[in-house]
Amino acid sequence: MAEEPKPRENKEEKKMVYTYPLCRHSDMPEETKLEVMEYVVTACEKFTGNNEAAAKMIKEEMDKKYGPPFHVVVGEGFGFELSYELNNLLYMFFGGNLAICIWKC
Amino acid sequence: MIEMGLDPDAIDDDDDTKTEILPEEEETVEDEEEEVEEEENAGEEDDEAPPPPPPEEPEEDEPEVIMPAISPSKAAVKIGGRPKKLVNSFNFSERAALTYNNPMRSQEVQTTPPPLATFSANVLQWVIYDAYQADYEAQQLEKELEKERKEKEKASTSRARPVRKAGKVQLSEAVQGRVLECWRVLERMINLNSYTEIAKDYRYWDDPSDEFRVEEGTLLPLWKFMYDKTKTHTVTDLDWNPYYYDLFTVCFGFFDFVKPINNGAVCLFTIKNPSFPDYICITDSAVMCADIHPKYCYMVVIGQYDGAVLVFNVQQSCKDPIFKSNNVTNKHRGIVWEIKWGPDLPDGELNFFSVSADGKVNNWVLMQNELMRLTIINLYLDQEAVAGPDGTKFRLKSCASCIKFHPDNPQIYLVGTEEGLIYKCSTQYSSLYLLTYKAHDLPISRMDFNRYNRDIFISASYDWRVKIWDDQRLEPLFSFDLGDRVGDVKWAPYSSTVFAAVTTEGKVYVFDLNINKYKPICVQAVVSKRRNKLTRLAFNPKLPIIIVGDDKGCVTTLKLSPNLRIPCKAPKKQQHLDQWTLQCMKLDKLLSLVREPVTLSLPSDTAGLEED
């Protein structure tokens, strides 16, 4: 999670890479959202480099907490189009290169 | 039961049938019991019977002792005999019944599915990067704003005090100057909003029923004008401003001389602001009349109850008059009943005429710094001088109550008196009446010249009558009885044959002689008959409205319905004629019906010539 200079772009002296969890889109209630983001951070930090395990952990956690069927996608590059139950979507970035999408349907 | 206890074998025999023949069994039991009872009764009877000889008793006892021994056998015999009776031991019939089956019905319920939405996005590394970048910048910006805000707060708390102190001084200065003007504008705007409906009525509402009533019209009440400080006063005079057609003058005084009021006021209202007068001149005596100069529409001259006359320049100040008659030497000795600006003198000095109950008509000239008074005429009654208390001869004067100048010839004027006479006078002759009309029996309240034909004028009096006069003719052309004291009468500015009058009864009468020569085309009670009395009336020179004043200091605006203001239609052959000529023609036509022919021609002469 340390800030590292990006090697690709050297135009400016320092290209900062930000690693804090950044919520891109969510329609969850504010409290829920913060809680879920915390799970995501925990899971991704626990399984660095193992997206599948991280996703599995998040999904299980979510199912337990908010009732099944939750779906979780963790990855660096993907596209999606999904239907979700309202107030149950979170799309966030984390660690500078991970995108996590959680929804219930 | 006894039996069952005594005879278990028999019961055993019956065991298999027992449950089914339960009712039978009970019967048998009852039978047994009855038998037993009978036996016992028999025994008792025996006891009660006349005592048998003692030796017999042992005999009787013996069978008793034996009885128990016998009874089981007896019972056994009996049960043993039953099976015969119980041939139909299964004495029951099988019956079946089926309850009604309710019809089945299927019903389905489906919950609404949880609301769904779709969402789509593409995750790419650069998207993630950009998102972070944007977010970071936003955060940075937020921090800066926060800093600025904190600085401002600090600054504002330190600077605020001196600013406020300076503001107070500035504000008071500004109020005296231009802020007042702004407030006036604001007041008007608020009034425009709060009186929109009335304004719309005024603008657009024409009584639709007028189309179906040929000879009648109505008056629509619009705004009411009141001023809190003059609620107890009577409206003693009303007049529209000659320049601003929405502005009018209202004089507040009193007519009920039993209850004098100490002060008076002149208020200038505008129909654009019905809530408060635009100009208020408070005076120390009741105001009985006022007039606005036709050229300088800010010059207001006032006649008072105590005989004084005041000139206000409302543009400069409403507090102090610019001219005031001397309260001791230079004043009327009676109520100033009507006051009129005269045409300016050759030197450009303003002057006005006033009539008063002391029987004088005065001309006042506004000199450099004083009012110069000139008595034009003393209205002596046309009768011999009477002896005063100390023997001196004393000529009686009539009390003037109204004055009207001829619109075309300013030298000629009419004076109405409380004796009911109308004097036609000229400013050139100070002791001569050109003509005296014995018009009414009670004081004349107001007179008015017709706008189209200057020879025609109208007078209203407290003797309930309104009369229309022709110059040089001592008898009235028309006379109308209105059933109560007539406070004011005015010709309409838009028509030569329409006039309106108000009575103490609280009614407004509108006449159109062209339509009906005998009856009013509109009679409408404007105020409540018991509480209010109407005193004065004025036609707006431009708009189709009139204002009427009552004795509670209230001025009501009334809109004339279309039937009350029908314009003249030009005849087919004379389409080129304008409205003025048409109105004059209309009146002339009407007058020719009432006037005597001026000269009688001799038809015989002309007839003879033609024959030849």
Residue A90: give its domain's CATH number. Answer: 3.30.740.10
The mean of the pLDDT values for chain B is 80
Residue A99: band (very low, low, confident or very high) from pLDDT cuts 50, 70, 90: very high
Range of the domain at A83: 22-104
Q: Is residue A26 a part of any domain in this protein?
A: yes
Chain A interface, mutation test: which of B132, B133, B136, most A Cβ atoms within 10 Å?
B132
Q: How far apart are CA B492 and CA B495, in angstroms?
A: 6
Q: How many domains does chain A have?
A: 1
Residue B501: band (very low, low, confident or very high) from pLDDT cuts 50, 70, 90: very high
Chain A interface, mutation test: which of B120, B123, B133, most A Cβ atoms within 10 Å?
B123
Question: How far, in Å, are A19, A49, A71, A105 from residue A57 at the CA level?
Answer: 20, 14, 11, 18
Position B84 scores a pLDDT of 60
For B205-384+392-594, which CATH superfamily applies?
Answer: YVTN repeat-like/Quinoprotein amine dehydrogenase (2.130.10.10)
Note whether B135 contacts A: Cβ–Cβ < 8 A.
yes
Sign of the alpha-carbon torsion through B184, B190, B196, B198: negative
Position B474 scores a pLDDT of 86
- Kind plus residue range of the DSSP H or E element containing B362: strand B360-366
Question: What digits encode the pLDDT tens for the residues B138-172?
Answer: 999 999 999 988 888 877 665 544 445 455 566 56
Instruction: Check whether A11 has a pLDDT greater than 60.
Output: no
Residue B29: band (very low, low, confident or very high) from pLDDT cuts 50, 70, 90: very low
Residue B66: band (very low, low, confident or very high) from pLDDT cuts 50, 70, 90: very low
Q: How far apart are CA B75 and CA B434, in angstroms?
A: 160
Position B11 scores a pLDDT of 47
DSSP for B418-472 reads: TTSEEEEEETT-SS--SEEEE--SS-EEEEEE-SS-TTEEEEEETTSEEEEEETT
Position A102 scores a pLDDT of 93
Note whether A8 contacts B: Cβ–Cβ < 8 A.
no
Note whether A83 contacts B: Cβ–Cβ < 8 A.
yes
- If you compute the radius of gyration of chain B from its CA atoms, what whole number of angstroms results? 58
**What ipTM was reported for this prediction?**
0.81
Q: Is residue A98 a part of any domain in this protein?
A: yes
- Number of residue pairs across A and B with CB atoms under 8 Å? 70
Percent of chain B clearing pLDDT 90 (strictly above): 19
Note whether A7 contacts B: Cβ–Cβ < 8 A.
no
Question: What digits encode the pLDDT tens for the residues B538-560?
Answer: 999 888 899 999 888 899 999 98
Q: Is residue A5 a part of any domain in this protein?
A: no
The residue count of chain B comes to 612
Question: What digits encode the pLDDT tens for the residues B315-349?
Answer: 888 888 888 888 788 888 888 999 999 888 888 88
Q: Is residue A9 a part of any domain in this protein?
A: no
Instruction: Check whether B234 has a pLDDT greater than 70.
Output: yes
The answer to whether the Cβ–Cβ distance between A91 and B119 falls below 8 Å is yes
